[in-house]
Amino acid sequence: MLELYIMRHAAAEDGNGNDFSRTLTDKGRKQAEKMGDWLLELMTAPLLVVSSPYPRAHETANILAGRLGKAATVRLDERLAPGMVQDEAFAVIHEFGRLAERLMLVGHSPDLDYLVSRLIGAREGGVEMRKGAVACLTAERVGFGGSTLCWLINPKL
């Protein structure tokens, strides 16, 4: 069974017309650090982090992985960019889930809202991922309704 973490990027700058160039704000960096510190308490096995290549997601993934130390590695995957196709997200989970006991995807809303909702068998919009939030699921199989949501937490908590 795969332990799957889904994380929405932390708070980012306004786009100013260029969505690709947005980076994290100071608040966003602190959110990513908090979540990394919190997850460090839970990690007993290495975590493979697969991130959208957009700077705000990649930066979130790198900060989180830095807090986890050698227990985490980061890879980028274009399929997790904004506008993610759900079947491609399932393919990312299948592909990278074979490489690690624990897998984290870092991406964007509303794509991740829909992904988590589909994984647990809920209708689209059933789960809301706030900036910097992390959901933990156990995946018996990757597909509609094949996972169980264990918890969902945001940095404010």
Kindly report the average pLDDT of the chain as a whole number.
91
DSSP 24: B
Judge if the upstream peptide bond of residue 55 is cis by omega within 30 degrees of 0: no
Radius of gyration of the chain (CA): 14
Report the share of the chain in percent with pLDDT over 70: 98
pLDDT of residue 47: 87
Average pLDDT over residues 101-111: 94
Tokens of 47: 């975590």
Domain boundaries, the chain: 2-153
Prediction pTM value: 0.94
CB contact at 8 A, 110 and 84: no
Sorting pLDDT into bands at 50, 70 and 90, what band is 125? low
Sorting pLDDT into bands at 50, 70 and 90, what band is 43? confident
CB contact at 8 A, 48 and 99: yes
Tokens of 37: 């510190």
d(CA 38, CA 35) in angstroms, rounded, equals: 5
d(CA 83, CA 67) in angstroms, rounded, equals: 28
pLDDT digits (tens, 9 = 90+) for 49-91: 999 999 999 999 999 999 988 878 999 999 999 999 989 999 9
Q: Say whether pLDDT at 131 is over 70.
A: yes
Could you tell me where the beta strands, DSSP code E, fall in the chain?
2-8, 47-51, 72-76, 102-107, 134-139, 147-153
Q: Which fold has domain 2-153?
A: Rossmann fold (3.40.50)
